[in-house]
Amino acid sequence: MADFPGITHVALTVTDLDRSVPWYQTLFGADPVLDQDVGPFRHVAWGIDNNTLVSLHGFKKGTDPKDRFSEFRVGMDHLSFGVPTRQELENWGKKLDDLGIAHGDIVDADYGSGLSFRDPDNNALEFFAPPGT
């Protein structure tokens, strides 16, 4: 059997694509590579490192979620973007400041260091560096 496969994409459901698409465009510094209607939802995606797609799903009127994300409910806790060093976390903190995106402080733990922030729907996002870097 082959090694366990990598992640190809993650899809986040959002309440308002008109608000979220520009926010993610600013975060990624790029236009989406895909923007199309797929059945009951619109699918907008960006290509990031290692051929991974980060996608947003916005459901058609009348089916939109009414609440915001909470990591305290069953499901996803957060989406983490890997960076090679803690210095790169500091660089991303400055970049988030420049973009006007609120974030927490860098948190160091035995297993690595993280810098947390949230999208307009409160989806928990993070930049993460391995320990001792």
**Which residues make up the CATH 3.30.720.120 domain(s) of the chain?**
9-59
Reference 120, options 10, 48, 21; nearest CA is 21
Candidates 3.40.50.300, 1.10.3720.10, 3.90.1150.10, 3.30.720.120; CATH matching 9-59: 3.30.720.120
Tens-digit pLDDT string for the chain (133 aa): 668 777 888 999 888 899 999 999 999 999 999 999 888 888 999 999 878 999 998 887 665 566 777 777 767 889 999 999 999 999 999 999 999 999 999 999 999 999 999 999 999 999 999 998 8
pTM for the full predicted model: 0.86
**Which residues make up the CATH 3.10.180.10 domain(s) of the chain?**
78-133
- Six-digit token string for 102: 């609120």
Contact 115, 101 (CB under 8 A): no
Reference 81, options 120, 112, 60, 37; nearest CA is 112
pLDDT of 8: 85
What residues have CB less than 8 Å from 91, skipping those under 6 apart? none
The answer to whether domain 78-133 has CATH 3.40.50.150 is: no
